[in-house]
């Protein structure tokens, strides 16, 4: 159901508000450059700083503007189960093709609470669901056993976004379930695909979508020699995009490349001078900046 290079879409801001003109340009950019699908209002999209109304409006705008040309996986996860249900139902009504559900952050639920959280969303919204395992950001891992239990109990659970840097967990999920697996870490996309992943939800694809899509396409075709060459070329960008907290560097890169503004919302702050120099060098070495 899900394979290829999906973009963890940034949320462009201008003077504190969502810049919908920039969003429209970015959607066309991805339509033209091989992106497999759009993932709005995820953590790269600064979802914790969007109001519920902004969150719903942003997903609806992306779904309507893409107009079926690219599937839309709406980031509707929350550390409140009721809020995640509200957002997911709204995303389904707006025309989203699936939801991306991050594990509840800060609450640190036990496996049983994690299972009940995702099952409640699946039961209420009836929208295909991608589980998002990113313990480095949430403070709690979705255990492989919980993923398998959800895959058995909920037909809506169809995929996993893996950002735990563990080829072991990706391998075990591939062995034990029929879920699609998408990397949630650009630098781990190729290793994860070698273990059976189907692609990536990429940060760096925000500004080099064609190159990420080509790397993923080569791996899907079984041409790992070509995929490795592309991975090695992209790797400095993967590293530079996380020189500071995501999405500060990627938004800065997009501003440098005139794709959208670099504005972030508090509590994020503009990139520091040292981080800017690292990012500029990576973009210049790649040939994106003169």
Positions marked catalytic: 132, 161
β-pair partners for 100: 75, 130
Residues near 47 by Cβ (< 8 Å), separated by ≥ 6? 41, 55, 75, 77
Q: State the pairing for strand pair 73-75/13-14.
A: unpaired
Q: What is the DSSP string of the chain?
A: ---EEEEE----EETTEE-HHHHHHHHHHHHHTT--EEETTSTTTTGGGS-HHHHHHHHHHHHHHHTTSS-BEEE---SSHHHHHHHHHHHHHHT-SEEEEEPPTTT---HHHHHHHHHHHHHHH---EEEEE-HHHHS----HHHHHHHHHH-TTEEEEEE-S--HHHHHHHHHH---EEEESSGGGHHHHHHTT--EEEESGGGT-HHHHHHHHHHHHTT-HHHHHHHHHHHHHHHHHTTSSSTTHHHHHHHHHTTSS-----TTS-PPPHHHHHHHHHHHHHHTS--
């Amino acid at each position: 159901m899900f394979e290829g290079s999906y973009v963890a879409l940034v949320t462009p801001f201008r003077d504190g508000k969502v810049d919908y003109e920039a969003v429209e340009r970015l959607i066309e950019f991805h339509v033209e450059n091989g992106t497999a699908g759009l993932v709005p209002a995820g953590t790269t999209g600064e979802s914790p700083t969007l109001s519920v109304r902004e969150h719903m409006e942003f997903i609806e705008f992306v779904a309507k503007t893409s107009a079926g040309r690219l599937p839309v996986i709406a980031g509707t996860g929350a550390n409140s189960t009721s809020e995640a249900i509200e957002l997911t139902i709204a995303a389904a009504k707006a025309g989203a093709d699936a939801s991306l559900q991050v594990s509840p952050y800060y609450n640190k639920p036990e496996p049983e609470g994690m299972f009940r959280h995702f099952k409640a969303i699946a039961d209420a919204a009836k929208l295909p669901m991608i589980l998002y395992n990113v313990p480095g950001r949430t403070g709690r891992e979705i255990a492989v056993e919980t993923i398998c239990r959800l895959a058995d109990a909920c037909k809506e659970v169809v995929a996993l976004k893996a950002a735990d840097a563990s080829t072991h967990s990706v391998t075990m999920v591939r062995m034990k379930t029929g879920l699609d697996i998408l990397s949630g870490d650009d630098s781990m996309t190729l290793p994860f695909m070698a273990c059976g992943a189907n692609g990536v939800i990429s940060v760096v694809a925000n500004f080099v979508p064609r190159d990420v899509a080509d790397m993923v396409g080569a791996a899907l075709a079984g041409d790992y020699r070509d995929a490795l060459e592309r991975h090695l070329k992209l790797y400095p960008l993967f590293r530079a995009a996380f020189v500071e907290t995501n999405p500060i560097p990627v938004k800065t890169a997009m501003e440098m490349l005139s794709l959208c503004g670099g504005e972030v919302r508090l509590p994020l702050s503009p990139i520091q001078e040292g981080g800017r120099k690292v990012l500029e060098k990576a973009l210049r070495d790649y040939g994106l900046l003169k």
